[in-house]
Amino acid sequence: MMNEQLYETIFRRKSNRKYDMSPLPTEIIVALQNFTETVKPLDETIKIEYSYLGTNDVKNLLPIKAPHYICLYSEKKDNYLLNAGFILQQIDLYLSANNLGSCWLGMAKPSKQVPEMKNGLEFVIMIAFGNANGPVQRDSIPEFNRKKIASISDINDAEEFTVPVWLAPSASNSQPWFLSGTPDRIIVSREKLNLLRAPIYGKMNQIDIGIALCHLWLTCEHLGKRMELDFDKQAAPSGYEFMATVRIESQEIRIGS
């Protein structure tokens, strides 16, 4: 699938929480597995693996049941949570573009009979998927439930970048990101958490930032621009902590660090 299709899906995707529990045909699962081999990582040095589970293999604290789940296992190193969000959001968009329902599950993990480690890699997060009982996509942007866009960015004349991030999914729809800087040098920060929320959302909000970076990367590709990442610490707006600097240039697209 061309990344242009993933970009277009940003403006229509939705989280699907009700599914037809009939298993998908084998050819659809094989096509998904083939797509995962083409997904762009945020950091190619971080080792990852996937696992495909059925409904009886998952323990979920939320009442969401699906016929299939894709789990991401990762090496634990710098930015591995951002990398997980960046990778799985491409898969989330792929599923939606292929008329399949999907939903990020931050409160789910493999059941006891399924190892939480795979070849030395740790389970990070999973996405539920299958045929949805209801519309897979939204009809228009006003159907998204989001904060006012001014609350997630103070960059002027950068709607082509800020809107795709504004529409990105996040844990409990918290939208923890903030974009500052300029249209060609975007500082991506995340909301500082209080002690009550940090144990749950500290991990999830880093995955959310990876999702936002995925939307920025797909936007750059759509615009024919190059995106480079820099993780050297920069000043962040009050109430936020620095996550990454995104440099955007009008050249062939690649990801660097």
Q: Domain boundary at 130, 155, 180, which?
A: 130
pTM beyond cutoff 0.85: yes
Q: What is the pLDDT of residue 256?
A: 52
Q: What is the pLDDT along the chain (257 residues), one digit of tens a residue?
A: 589 999 999 999 999 999 999 999 999 999 999 999 999 999 999 999 999 999 999 988 788 999 999 999 999 999 999 999 999 999 999 999 999 999 999 988 888 888 778 889 999 999 999 999 999 999 999 999 999 999 999 999 999 999 999 999 999 899 999 999 999 999 999 999 875 666 677 889 999 999 999 999 999 999 999 999 999 999 999 999 999 999 999 864 455 54
pLDDT tens-digit series, residues 22-76: 999 999 999 999 999 999 999 999 999 999 999 999 988 788 999 999 999 999 9
Q: Do residues 114 and 16 both lie within one domain? A: yes
Q: Do residues 8 and 113 both lie within one domain? A: yes
Q: Do residues 9 and 118 both lie within one domain? A: yes
Q: Do residues 37 and 81 both lie within one domain? A: yes
Q: Do residues 95 and 190 both lie within one domain? A: no
* Residues 252, 226 contacting (CB under 8 angstroms): yes
Q: Do residues 28 and 75 both lie within one domain? A: yes
Alpha carbon of 155 to those of 162, 182, 210: distances in Å?
A: 8, 6, 20
Q: Domain boundary at 130, 160, 180, which?
A: 130
Rg (CA), the chain: 17
Please report whether residue 48 resides in a domain.
yes
Q: What is the pLDDT of residue 184?
A: 94
Q: Do residues 32 and 99 both lie within one domain? A: yes
Question: Most distant CA pair in the chain: distance in Å?
Answer: 52
Q: Domain boundary at 85, 104, 130, which?
A: 130
Q: What is the pLDDT of residue 195?
A: 57
Where in the sequence is the domain holding 171, given as residue range(s)?
145-249
Structural domains counted in the chain: 2
H helix runs in 43-132, sequence order: 80-97
